[in-house]
Amino acid sequence: MDTKAKRRSTKEAASEVKSRRTTRIDGDDASGKIKESDVQRMTPQQYETNADAIMESIRSGKFVYDISGAAR
């Protein structure tokens, strides 16, 4: 098997793997969506101001774990 054929078969196999993790964010309800990276960049004062919205986003499933997502 040459390198190109092996690389192609590896990519095909990877594309067939189903992820157990799913993230559902409705396009209509994107207003409550908050990214983990955005929270990380906040100052302590900004976090304190937005803490309720952040917690609501986590509870409602609209929080996007874009930094530690693979660790979950």
Domain range list for the chain = 28-67
CA distance 53 to 47: 10
Q: What is the pTM (predicted TM-score) of this model?
A: 0.53
**Two structure tokens written together for 3:** 């390198």
Q: Which residue carries 């309720």 as its tokens?
A: 52
Q: Is 90 exceeded by the pLDDT of residue 3?
A: no
Reference 65, options 25, 19, 16, 14; nearest CA is: 25
Q: How many C-beta atoms surround the C-beta of residue 6 within 10 A?
A: 10
CA distance 48 to 32: 17
Could you read off the pLDDT of 20-64 as tens digits, one per residue?
544 444 444 457 799 999 999 999 999 999 999 999 999 999 999
Beta bridge partners of 64: 35
Label residue 1 by pLDDT band (50, 70, 90). Answer: low
Q: Is 70 exceeded by the pLDDT of residue 16?
A: no
